[in-house]
């Protein structure tokens, strides 16, 4: 673009370049497209995206729930962030 401006200016100039009337609604698509939750978790865990994102997301969510249960058993999720825990010390 040869003109400074925000999103509205960019959209107006793009419509002019495409000879689309100013008052005509347009559908905008973002590229690259947003990742699905399965793709995002796959990226975090180093797994390739699968064609069945729902199954991948479900399996990953299940693993995170297992991790959450383990952390809860270790009492790492029951305290505010940044808290330090000390094991119980028996009374003398």
The structure's pTM equals 0.34
In this prediction, the residues of the chain whose per-residue pLDDT falls under 70 are 1-3, 47-54, 56, 75-86
Q: Tell me, what's the pLDDT at 78?
A: 62
Report how far apart, in Å, the C-alpha atoms of 75 and of each of 13, 25, 61, 65, 82 are.
56, 53, 20, 15, 13
Other beta carbons within 10 angstroms of residue 35's beta carbon come to 13
* Residues 45 and 55: beta-carbon distance below 8 Å: no
Other beta carbons within 10 angstroms of residue 50's beta carbon come to 14
Q: How far apart are CA 31 and CA 11, in angstroms?
A: 15
């Amino acid at each position: 673009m040869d003109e400074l401006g925000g999103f509205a200016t960019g959209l107006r100039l793009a419509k002019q370049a495409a000879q689309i009337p100013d008052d005509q609604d347009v559908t905008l698509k973002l590229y690259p497209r947003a990742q699905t939750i399965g793709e995002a978790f796959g990226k975090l865990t180093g797994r390739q995206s699968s064609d069945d994102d729902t199954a991948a997301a479900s399996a990953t969510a299940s693993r995170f729930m297992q991790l959450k249960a383990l952390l809860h058993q270790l009492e790492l999720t029951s305290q505010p962030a940044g808290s330090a825990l000390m094991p119980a010390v028996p009374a003398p």
